[in-house]
Structure 1
């Protein structure tokens, strides 16, 4: 399976606007009314390493320019002025824009090591301890907008006491219900039917109250490491729901696999890649400001039978890769 990297990669890099001075990565992207809208995770500093969601636009899906200098969604909008909102995954349903996001409510510092996941330092920010929240715990939620620019909080999709990220909303209702992928880290053990964190699925009638999640998939291959999580938003294809996911091996290398889920019952996995379909190859995927050796897709689109995959590179910049969607589907089912 071979993806074609865009010749202009990395297509978005840090600098310019204050909100993305040190990093821009893990974007949500939608194609709407003839334009590509990109919701990037933007960082203005490493101390603290605070991220917000910015907005860029493009006519061709490659050359992006900022819509505005200010972020469209921040931790402060949720009542956490020192917090970070992360990894927007955006869909448009019935005329409204829905943004799945992850929230780390309080400040922390980031010290890259150059060899693996950075050292994060939350200890000298007293809010973590004074509010009884486990350091670096991540809660997820959904924000909503009528115009794709002005977002407001809609709901939290995960409880406050567990670490649960990689939330991705299906772009349409299934059997009359909204469906959501999750990755609750604490759902491990005999009661949960798995010995490692995995991908789970929840449902809702109104996007406000969510069902108890059901286990969907766990790591199986060596490249997936000890846990997997949803990468980009699920996409409807004629052969099933296409879901890209990420895995991290023992050397902290982030790679990508794919699932195919039944269109009418997405709890049924009808296809899954055994080998990875993307891994770090180019310099901007192997070397960055924050984490080396990372390809982390958080957005995908199908345009003229081509799958566009937008991905974070080393938590520093944004890349684009493409592949004929039918080639990928055949590979998954083969």
Structure 2
């Protein structure tokens, strides 16, 4: 098994109004010796905004803002901005997050050229009900769990709003492939992929209707091992290596103690990321320490960003939905371990 070092708690909630309930699930981007961290900050009543801190090196907090840097402005995000991820493509920063209006949680995008001023692009995922999704995908062979996780127990309206199918964990690849944007997204219980998009403006209702007609061909990863038996979801932005795209994602297992969220690792093909090359058959790391086991939501290690310093990959994650922790691993050894667990090496 690969050796992972738990570096400890990076930051915790404060008495400031915007983050007095928790800090978690940060977007991470490295710039030289510094690491920028955009994190989900939770206030009383479970209203989320995005806070910011700047690290010198992978672990030392140098600056931490005393107010959120991105806040709710529109009705679709009236209850909060959750779980951001960030990449830089051709001098533009793309920050994806989940917009929550108190009823629906949907993938959203904002862009920036300076990490200070953000241009919100709005919701980029389909805004359809589960019944509409089911009708379009009726000829697909998909897991029955899609019904369990997405029909919202048959509730079609809540607080006067139409209940939509939740589509979260929007994660862009950090460069274009064949001059097109590629991103992961997640409709439970699998991880799906969108390929061959020239611009975000293409993601209109007709695009999604065509996409769902062949939805089973867009599922890039499905739950496979015990620690991810319930469902899986995107974690950190893909990391380009010589062997493939390194994917750090989250896997969820339903246990007698409730759901357990673990960090997991897989490898996708560089030219065709629809092709899975390898996957660890065990968690990369899981909740073990008291601050991962107990919190706002118990038993959670939820990875959302990485920073690579020499051979050491630092993984930043939400711990028990209340604080932010960091783990580190040798990326070369992790890749070696993955190559021992390729699909062709499976027994």
Calculate the TM-score normalised by the size of structure 2. 0.79
Any gaps of 5 or more consecutive residues in structure 1? 107-134, 186-196
Find the aligned partners of 1:321 and 1:330 in 2 and give their Cα distance.
18
Find the partner of 1:278 among 282, 285, 288.
285
In structure 1, the residue matched to 2:106 is 139
Residues 1:259 and 2:259 aligned together = no
Aligned length: 288
Q: Counterpart of 1:149 in 2: which secondary structure?
A: coil
Find the aligned partners of 2:200 and 2:307 in 1 and give their Cα distance.
23
Q: Counterpart of 1:11 in 2: which secondary structure?
A: strand
Change (3 A) 1:34 1:222: same
Residues 1:205 and 2:167 aligned together = no
RMSD over equivalenced CA pairs, Å: 1.6
Alpha-carbon offset, residue 206 of structure 1: 1.2
Structure 1 window deviating more from structure 2 (256-265 vs 12-21): it is 12-21
Find the aligned partners of 1:81 and 1:176 in 2 and give their Cα distance.
31
In structure 2, the residue matched to 1:84 is 80
Residues 1:96 and 2:92 aligned together = yes
Residue pair 1:155, 1:208 contacting (<8 A) in 2 also: no
In structure 2, the residue matched to 1:2 is 3
Equivalence map 1:21-170=2 (5 Å): 21-45=20-44, 48-76=45-73, 78-80=74-76, 82-106=78-102, 135=103, 137-161=104-128, 162-170=165-173
Q: Counterpart of 2:120 in 1: which secondary structure?
A: strand
Alpha-carbon offset, residue 265 of structure 1: 0.6
In structure 2, the residue matched to 1:232 is 236
Find the partner of 1:174 among 177, 180, 183.
177
In structure 2, the residue matched to 1:243 is 247
Q: Counterpart of 1:142 in 2: which secondary structure?
A: strand
Any gaps of 5 or more consecutive residues in structure 2? 129-164, 341-347
* CA deviation map 1:257-278 (0-9, x unaligned): 1110111110111111111111
Residue pair 1:155, 1:207 contacting (<8 A) in 2 also: no
Alpha-carbon offset, residue 96 of structure 1: 1.5
Residue pair 2:77, 2:99 contacting (<8 A) in 1 also: no
Higher helix share: 2
Q: Counterpart of 1:55 in 2: which secondary structure?
A: strand
Find the aligned partners of 2:226 and 2:172 in 1 and give their Cα distance.
28
Residue pair 1:18, 1:69 contacting (<8 A) in 2 also: no
Calculate the TM-score normalised by the size of structure 1. 0.82
Find the aligned partners of 1:205 and 1:173 in 2 and give their Cα distance.
9
Alpha-carbon offset, residue 81 of structure 1: 6.5
